[in-house]
Homo-oligomer: A and B are copies of this chain.
Amino acid sequence: MTYCVGLLLKAGMVLLADTRTNAGLDNIATYRKLFTFEVPGERVLAIMTAGNLSVTQTTLARLTEAAQHPEADETRSILKAPTLLNVAGIVGDTLAEVTVELQGRMERMSSQQASASLILAGQRKGGPMRMFLIYPEGNFIEATEDTPFLQIGEHKYGKPILDRVVTMDTTLAEAKKAVLLSMDSTLRSNLSVGMPLDMAVIEADALRVTERERIEAKDERFAELSTAWSQALRDAFQRIGWS
């Protein structure tokens, strides 16, 4: 599995992804699941991936190839599409196309299923920040003021903390803490989600990735955050009463 979470706030967007992939419990590897695309000052995009690795890699490869193609036009290039909605359409179409191809192959050969879902976040010059969750079939939903976060993969363990602390007005510093604690709860409860983590921050109207960080398994600050949170939870648990 995987856990990726994205927050869409007034101050900007914060994205966090784990890097564990597995084909069975005895075949574990580290693969990046957070990808960014920039035309500084013009457009910034980030894509996070969950699901079958051959689907997500092929989808990303085709999107990248289409964007780099010398004759790429606005109907195929995520860097040229006029709006973020158009970008979501291109990403969704590519994902659905790859999924159908690979599922056809897999159904012929074995009973395995292959699917994937994505989070797309971005902003183009003159437009608002937008964030989409794109389903295997290529359709998508969008983060809104009422629900300013999107999750893919193993999303349940880390949802209670987000439900409680995240609003559109959350600052970027708090948002980083929130996604890291949401990830920490998931890491503790589910072996199929693993370090290192990739975090990206895109400040509102910066039109570039303003902060990018890989947090390794031995990262002391993350260990401290995790310990402090556990201790704080236990203290709070002791303090509140039920009789």
Contacts and interface: CB of A to CB of B under 8 A. Distances in A.
A202 B240 CA distance: 23
B189 A159 contact: yes
A163 B189 contact: yes
Contact of A188 (B163, B221, B243): B163
Contacts of A188: 160, 163-164
B189 A230 contact: no
Main secondary structure of the interface of A (DSSP, over half): helix
Interface residues of A, number: 34
Per assembly, the copies of the chain total 2
A115 B74 CA distance: 50
A199 to B, nearest CB: 10
Interface string A142-180: 000000000000001101110111000000011011101
Interface stretch (A27-35, A93-101, A231-239): A231-239
Contact of A232 (B160, B173, B236, B243): B236
Given A156-B189, A157-B160, A221-B242, A229 B234 contact: no
Interface of A: 156-157, 159-161, 163-165, 173-174, 176-178, 180-181, 185, 188-189, 221, 225, 228-230, 232-237, 239-243
8 contacts: A156-B157, A173-B242, A177-B240, A177-B242, A221-B242, A225-B241, A229-B240, A233-B233
